[in-house]
Amino acid sequence: MDRISDVSIGPLRDSKYIQCYQVSYKQNGKQRYWDCLRQHDSVGILIYNVTRQALVVVTQFRPAVYMSSNRPVWENSEIFTSGSLNMKADKGSESQVGPESDATAPKYGPSSEGMTYELCAGIVDKDIPLAEIAREEVQEETGYQVKTENLQYITSFWSNIGTAGSKQSLFYCEVTDDMIVGSGGGNQHEGEMIDVLDIPISTIDEFIVDESKKKSMGLCFGFSWFAKNVLPKQKNGQ
Amino acid sequence: MDRISDVSIGPLRDSKYIQCYQVSYKQNGKQRYWDCLRQHDSVGILIYNVTRQALVVVTQFRPAVYMSSNRPVWENSEIFTSGSLNMKADKGSESQVGPESDATAPKYGPSSEGMTYELCAGIVDKDIPLAEIAREEVQEETGYQVKTENLQYITSFWSNIGTAGSKQSLFYCEVTDDMIVGSGGGNQHEGEMIDVLDIPISTIDEFIVDESKKKSMGLCFGFSWFAKNVLPKQKNGQ
């Protein structure tokens, strides 16, 4: 388990990752405004290792999930009341909260609070077919080399519909142990620290509702889709 | 179908809805930063109308989904290159894009591109039990009066894990036509314009993969959960 320490928050500076804007429009003639977030579309891949009879998922420390789980610690930080949010800020104005600033303040929890279980996934930031992006992500994150034509498109849904409304396209592929060409783990240059995990298909019903493991919605739907569409054929020996 | 017109975008001003911050932390001793979005947790409710043998969903125009679908129209707007994003801005600096500013510019699409099909849902912004918030949302959005104890908790998952990491708790309830006490439609004071729709349970498999209807991930998982956990009992006459 990763060791997380020295947590503090500050205003968002010019961000490569979070870009906000406001849209103005008329709905049936009535003037309206909506605050939006620009976010990439993404692909997710449900991977079934036939050799091991297991679904292949990834786990990683997600700072946003960790902070969300520790919201009472930082919720009342002055950066949310001083009007300095969403502005450029000097490094020096960072607001330190938590153990460092006050020995009596609530403490941030263990890093496990930020660990999530997800499908292998990636953002759509290249003008190539979605299945090709999916293929690259499978190899980069999990170490399996698959062929684009073996990626079965399932469907797409919309995420963050309140703020970003980005599209996630879900694929399914089957792999075997002899398709492993690397250890996975994500893009080291981007600082990704991803672990790969097998979930035996005999345990997926329990896994979906096991709240000791924080899961993405995409994983829950993917597992349910597998249980409905693939598992019955397995049991029938097809 | 709602009529959407006069679409333009501008920098985000002080927002009640989108609040960004940056978290600084050490992961295994290595200094890291992450850009985050503060977002409420939420509840979603899968509603089964036994009288009509249909799942009850809501549809509404989602500005973020509409903008995401029309991204080529506004993507290169100068507000994303001028460094004025994420800052307070005067009303006058709003950047007009689309049909109004240039007759040759790409046009925004029809409002149907922003219509989504979702489970009845709501944010957790009160310190009361989640099931009570769910009960209120069911009545407000769909018009059905249910009892808190009839809301069955299914599980929770994490959404927007890259940026916000908020928790969505999913409930299930069964209703009948005689539990209708209003027309639903959402909170008029908050400007919600929500339509309520029945999806016959005989059609949910097709509905999940029908991409002419944009769906939230929560709906896809909820429908799959129903197909796996409730539908077989229906067929067995239980």
**Residue range B178-205, pLDDT digits in tens:** 999 988 887 777 777 889 999 999 999 9
Q: Does B215 contact A37 at a Cβ distance shorter than 8 Å?
A: no
To the nearest 10°, report the CA torsion of A55, A60, A62, A65. 50
What's the pLDDT score for residue B2?
A: 81
Give the Cα separation of A121 and A59 in Å (integer).
11
Could you tell me if A180 lies within 8 Å of chain B, comparing CB atoms?
no
DSSP letter for A202, please: G
**Residue range B107-120, pLDDT digits in tens:** 899 999 999 999 99
**Residue range B68-79, pLDDT digits in tens:** 999 989 888 777
Could you tell me if A135 lies within 8 Å of chain B, comparing CB atoms?
no
Give the Cα separation of B156 and A116 in Å (integer).
13
Is the Cα torsion angle B19, B24, B26, B32 positive or negative in sign? Answer: positive
Nearest to B6 among A26, A69, A214 (CB): A26
Beta partners for residue A216, in sequence order: B158
Nearest to B63 among A34, A118, A221 (CB): A34
Percent of chain B with pLDDT over 90: 71
Give the Cα separation of A224 and A219 in Å (integer).
8
CATH of domain A40-83+105-235: 3.90.79.10
> Cα B192 vs. chain centroid, distance in angstroms?
12
Q: Does A39 contact B68 at a Cβ distance shorter than 8 Å?
A: yes
Most confident of A6-15, A136-145, A226-235, B3-12: A136-145
Beta partners for residue B26, in sequence order: A5, B31
What's the pLDDT score for residue A104?
A: 60
pLDDT of A187 above 90: no
Q: What would the two tokens of residue B121 be?
A: 């849902």
Is the Cα torsion angle B210, B216, B220, B222 positive or negative in sign? Answer: negative
A21: CB partners within 8 A, 6+ apart:
A35, A36, A38, B9, B10, B11, B12, B79, B80, B85
What's the pLDDT score for residue A32?
A: 94
Average pLDDT over residues B119-141: 96
Q: How confident is the model at residue A91 (pLDDT cuts 50, 70, 90)?
A: very low
The pairing of beta strand B115-118 with beta strand B214-215: parallel
**Residue range A61-85, pLDDT digits in tens:** 999 999 999 998 888 777 776 555 5
At residue A212, the 3 state secondary structure works out as coil
Mean pLDDT score across all residues of chain B: 88
Instruction: Domain ranges for chain B, please list them.
Output: 9-38+78-108, 40-70+113-235
Q: Does A23 contact B67 at a Cβ distance shorter than 8 Å?
A: yes
B-chain residues near A82 (CB < 8 A)? none
DSSP string, A94-125: PBP-STTT-TTSPPP--GGGGEEEE-EEEE--
- Out of A155-164, B95-104, B162-171, B225-234, pick the least confident: B95-104
pLDDT of A90 above 80: no
DSSP string, A118-180: E-EEEE--SSS-HHHHHHHHIIIII-B---GGG-EEEEEEEESTTTT-EEEEEEEEEE-GGGB
Q: How confident is the model at residue A175 (pLDDT cuts 50, 70, 90)?
A: very high
Average pLDDT over residues B102-131: 89
The residue among B155, B211, B114, B111 whose CA lies nearest residue A157 is B211
Topology adopted by domain B40-70+113-235: Nucleoside Triphosphate Pyrophosphohydrolase (3.90.79)
φ and ψ at A126, to 5 degrees?
-135, 150
DSSP string, B38-75: E---EEEEEEEETTTTEEEEEEEE-HHHHHHHTHHHHT
**Residue range B5-32, pLDDT digits in tens:** 999 999 887 788 888 999 999 998 999 9
Placement of tokens 């591109």 in the chain: B113
Between B2 and B8, name the one with better pLDDT: B8
What's the pLDDT score for residue A81?
A: 65
> Cα A226 vs. chain centroid, distance in angstroms?
20
Distance from CA of A178 to the nearest CA of B (A): 32
pLDDT of A86 above 50: no
Q: How confident is the model at residue B85 (pLDDT cuts 50, 70, 90)?
A: low
Q: Number of CB pairs < 8 Å for A and B?
A: 295
Cβ density class B162-179: b for 16+ within 10 Å, e for less = bbbbbbbbbbbbbbeeeb
Between B49 and B86, name the one with better pLDDT: B49
Cβ density class A216-230: b for 16+ within 10 Å, e for less = bbbbbbbbbbbbbeb
What's the pLDDT score for residue B189?
A: 72
Nearest to A22 among B10, B26, B65 (CB): B10
**Residue range A148-163, pLDDT digits in tens:** 999 999 999 999 999 9
Beta partners for residue B56, in sequence order: B47, B198
Give the Cα separation of B170 and B150 in Å (integer).
13
